[in-house]
A and B are shown apart, each in its own frame.
Chain A
Amino acid sequence: MVDVKLRGIVKRFGKTVAVNGIDLDVRDGEFIVLLGPSGCGKTTTLRIIAGLEKPDEGRVLFGDRDVTYLPPRERNVSMVFQSYAVWPHMRVYDNIAFPLKIKKVPKDEIDKKVKWAAELLQISELLNRYPHQLSGGQRQRVAVARAIVVEPAVLLMDEPLSNLDALLRVKMRSEIKKLQRRIKVTTIYVTHDQVEAMTMGDRIAVMNQGKIEQVGRPDEIYLKPANVFVAGFIGSPQMNFFDATIYIEKDKAVLDVGDFKLGLNKDLIEVLKDYEGKTVIVGIRPEHIYPENLIPSTTKKVAKVEGIVDFVEELGSDTIVHVNTGSQILVLKISGSHHYEIGSKLVIALDLDKIHVFRKDTEKAII
């Protein structure tokens, strides 16, 4: 119904800079996820969009309308608060109905909508209770129900599923996503759960220390992280990072790690030759390193390295193996259940097509 644009938003609280120059374009009807570690300014950004906080610098635009100084109720937004903010003096029913009552929606229609939302969030039995008679997760669902009964131009959700059990969370994820698709409301969704971000977002904005590090589709963020922070923040276990020196041979670019060398394709020479002789940060995801005997048939080029098994985590569906190559400990994620003796030798293969290279100084991606 409306697109949201943030232009150079800065917000300070005393000496803390909570938001440090954010530019973001959220398209009409898009589901965008703000993802980032605790304290990176997600909630503050959301509150600025909602109008609960005035930015120190910058503008908030809804479509062509500059709403920077408009109070929340003139913005037609709806919000799920991180702290739920369910009103303690109203029953669940009245909590959900309240926004509609203020908008003077006819009574029978309110009733229909409240019942619909309660059903969707599985809180129909709780409508007559007061919030203090609910569990944390139930309260959170009341907050979500209250936010979706109104038909806002922009829906803001601040970790709306953080307090639900794993099963319910997966279910609610898909319910919210389906609902959002159906009513096509522009949605800005805050989470620090990367699985939630990857599965729900049309696009993800990865935030760190008050700044947006990268905006992109989930696969873009995963496959082409723009810098070391994004690369390390997305994916579990974390990407392996190690330093290497670049030199160029006549038909290949070589990353010299010390214990081992990685020879990259010659089509990368062009990009890497500026860095010849310099130290760079190399990154490779645990799922892109394989034991020698389990290299997928689709893999074209690998570099083999010998190491010693340092530690094993058997998760059932996956096995995480830490391998000591001498100067590095590399982490592998192997799908399926496998058994490795700690201390035993293991030859591992690094998928050379999946290697990331970052500048040492700016930590920005080179390839």
Chain B
Amino acid sequence: MVEKDTSMVKYYLFKIIIAGLVIIAVLWVITPFIISILYAFSDPTDYYSKEIIIPLHYTYEHVRKLVALGAGTAIINSVIVALMTIALSFALGLPAGYAFARFVFPGKDSLKLFIIGLRMFPIIVIAVPLVSLYIRLGLSDSLLGVALAHTAMALPFVIIITSSIFAGIPKELEEAGLIFGLDRTGAFLRITMPLALPGLAAAAIFTFIMSWNEVFIAAVLTLTNRTLPAFILTSAMAATDFIKFAASFIMILPAMIFVFIARRYLIAMWGITLR
């Protein structure tokens, strides 16, 4: 009886500790979000008042100002760049990832290492040559140009992730497709793809966020066609604090919406495919 009690206490104590740790982790992540959202809409007098920590009066003024300066177009630009980046990096990375997962070929491991190694190049080093190259190619200040640069950054990640997704799908499932009348393409599209889709969607979310957040290349390569981070860097960073908060709010919101939608889709699919 006594023994059972102590084990029960231990069990619940453990649960409480875990819960506590989870709460701390969650607070760690969401506090900056909450603060920036609160101050993004805060009335300037509340913001500067020493007595008030949580603002009481709210206004849309800061966000409106930013939109008037061109935040709206910048958001659209960012979305276009991010989607182009996803399309390009998946078009190139998916077949590579599949090859890494399914085939044995000479130099496979060193090639894999080399691909990861590409990410070690500091972007600053290649920024200037890239700009001069882009000017010659007529790609400077174009969204496609930014998307291409982002693709180069995302590609190693996409290759590694997709190869591990494909490696996680048993080869026999595809082979069963081959036995029962499919050709290689058919087996890939009708067996492997549906099973890989949730994982691929997750990889797409990460690619989206990477492109959405990338500021340096975007700022260097564009002048008028600013993506959102580049726009914020050049327009809001010199402004007052609450404008900065408004900017970060604008930055966070679309990404959050995208992630939530993608995640719901993801969960619905995991439910079926997992195990």
B-contacting residues of A (Cβ < 8 Å)?
50-52, 71-73, 77-79, 81, 83, 85-89, 98-99, 102-103, 130, 132, 146, 150
Q: How far is the CB of A188 from chain B (nearest CB, A)?
A: 14
Q: Evaluate contact between B178 and A73: CB separation under 8 angstroms.
A: yes
Chain B residues, Cβ within 8 Å of A50: 179
Q: Evaluate contact between A71 and B178: CB separation under 8 angstroms.
A: yes
Q: A52-B178, A73-B183, A78-B179 are in contact. List 19 more A-B contacts (CB 8 A).
A: A72-B178, A73-B180, A73-B181, A73-B182, A79-B176, A81-B176, A85-B173, A88-B173, A88-B195, A88-B273, A89-B273, A98-B180, A99-B180, A102-B181, A102-B182, A103-B181, A132-B274, A146-B176, A146-B180
Q: Evaluate contact between A88 and B275: CB separation under 8 angstroms.
A: yes
Tier of interface size on chain B:
10 to 19
Give A130 to B175 CA distance when docked, in angstroms: 20
Q: List 26 A-B contacts (CB under 8 A).
A: A52-B179, A71-B178, A71-B183, A73-B179, A73-B180, A73-B181, A73-B183, A78-B180, A81-B175, A81-B176, A83-B170, A83-B172, A85-B170, A85-B172, A86-B176, A88-B173, A89-B194, A89-B195, A89-B272, A98-B180, A99-B180, A102-B180, A102-B181, A103-B181, A130-B272, A146-B180
Chain A residues, Cβ within 8 Å of B173: 85, 87-88
Chain B residues, Cβ within 8 Å of A77: 179
Give A136 to B173 CA distance when docked, in angstroms: 16
Give A325 to B178 CA distance when docked, in angstroms: 58
Give A102 to B180 CA distance when docked, in angstroms: 8
Chain A residues, Cβ within 8 Å of B194: 89
Is B266 interfacial (CB-CB < 8 Å)?
no
Is B191 interfacial (CB-CB < 8 Å)?
yes
Question: What string of 1s and 0s marks CB contacts (under 8 Å) between B86-115 and chain A?
Answer: 000000000000000000000000000000
Give A98 to B181 CA distance when docked, in angstroms: 9
B179: contacting residue among A79, A83, A89, A132, CB under 8 A: A79
**Residue in B173, B183, B274 with the greatest tally of chain A CB atoms within 10 Å:** B173
B176: contacting residue among A85, A89, A130, CB under 8 A: A85
Chain B residues, Cβ within 8 Å of A73: 178-183
Q: Which of B118-172 contact A (CB under 8 A)?
A: 170, 172
Give A102 to B177 CA distance when docked, in angstroms: 10
Q: How far is the CB of B203 from chain A (nearest CB, A)?
A: 18
Q: How far is the CB of A95 from chain B (nearest CB, A)?
A: 9
Give A81 to B180 CA distance when docked, in angstroms: 12
Q: How far is the CB of B16 from chain A (nearest CB, A)?
A: 33
Chain A residues, Cβ within 8 Å of B275: 88, 132
Q: Considering only CB atoms, which chain A residue lies closest to B274 in the complex?
A: A132
Q: Evaluate contact between A150 and B180: CB separation under 8 angstroms.
A: yes
Q: Evaluate contact between A87 and B176: CB separation under 8 angstroms.
A: yes
Chain A residues, Cβ within 8 Å of B180: 73, 78, 98-99, 102, 146, 150
Q: How far is the CB of B237 from chain A (nearest CB, A)?
A: 48
In the A-B complex, the 8 residue pairs with the smallest Cβ-Cβ separation, listed nearest first, are A99-B180, A85-B172, A102-B181, A85-B176, A132-B275, A72-B178, A89-B194, A72-B179
